[in-house]
Amino acid sequence: MGLALALLLALLVVGAHEARAGEAAFRHSRVELVDAGWLEHEGARYRLAAVVIHLQPGWKTYWRLPGDGGVPPRFDFSGSENVKVEDVRVLLPAPSRFTDPLAGDVIGYKDLAVFPLLVSPADPARPVRLNLRLDYGVCGEICTSATATATLALPPDAHPDETTRNLALEWVKKTPLFDDGELRVTQARLKDGEPLTLLLTLAGPQAERVRDILAEGMELAAFGKPEKVASTDDAVTYALPIRGLADRKDFHGVKLRLTILLGERAIERTITLP
């Protein structure tokens, strides 16, 4: 957790309340592990499930890169049956950036977060039993952390609740799973100044629709919210301010993972800085 947030908010571990099978309930959040049927993608067939985090109104939970404060979710499927841990793929939907004048930027989800799961059974004719341990954080009036455990049986002849399936499919569409490849990063470079800035030029029909760019891969640097600084008929350049301990020379040859947010969708690109 960032120093500013740590000075303002106490980190509390909250105990679980009584909950139904397949879910864990806490004071400010509730976690469900749900069945969503089957999903076919690029010639493969997956058992579709989802981890659903229900939050009290106004409360937030975190993305993979939590920002200046908070903790990322940690999913552990050890002990699951008829599936290997590496064959449970957690999809991360497009998050939002929440900016606090004191705590800085927090990256995550407000009120509800749904993490779809692509499950590859070892034997598709047999049931899968998922055993989940989820360590995650939530923030509202205070910041808390919790550990949820849940189990879920996925029979091969799935008949999921229609509302649950539609919810999972809605959030699948917010992940990088479906990417038409039309948005391209045509240039990436650093610009000197205060602050040091990362300039990214994006080309394609979606370039004007970018609402945020999340950059990862440099431990000594944090990248701020992008600002559109140039535009042509087929390309847009965005400037991401950089803060942290890294100097310009530290970025040479660094590979960055970019999550580009287009409305409610997320796509991923990888760049290597010159």
Closest C-alpha to 112, from 65, 164, 53, 57: 53
Spatial CA neighbour of 29 closest among 163, 108, 137, 133: 137
Residue 243 near residue 231 (C-beta atoms within 8 A): no
Q: Tell me the per-residue pLDDT of 42-92, one tens digit each, with 9 for 90 and over.
A: 999 999 999 999 999 999 999 999 998 889 999 999 999 999 999 999 999
In this prediction, residue 103 carries a pLDDT of 67
Whole-structure pTM value:
0.90
CB atoms within 10 A of CB 81: 15
Q: Which of 107, 274, 271 is nearest to 202 (CA)?
A: 271
Each domain of the chain, given as residue ranges in start order, spans 3-172, 184-272
Please write the tens of the pLDDT for every residue from 105-147: 899 999 999 999 999 999 999 999 999 999 999 998 888 899 9
Specify the pLDDT at position 22: 75
Write out pLDDT tens, residues 212-250: 999 999 999 999 999 999 999 889 999 999 999 999 999
The CATH-assigned architecture of domain 3-172 is Sandwich (2.60)
Encode 217-237: b = buried (16+ Cβ within 10 Å), e = exposed: bbeebbbbebeeeeeeeebbb
Per-residue exposure over 59-68, b if at least 16 CB sit within 10 Å of its own CB, e if not = bbbbbebbbb
Domain 184-272: CATH architecture, name and number where available: Sandwich (2.60)
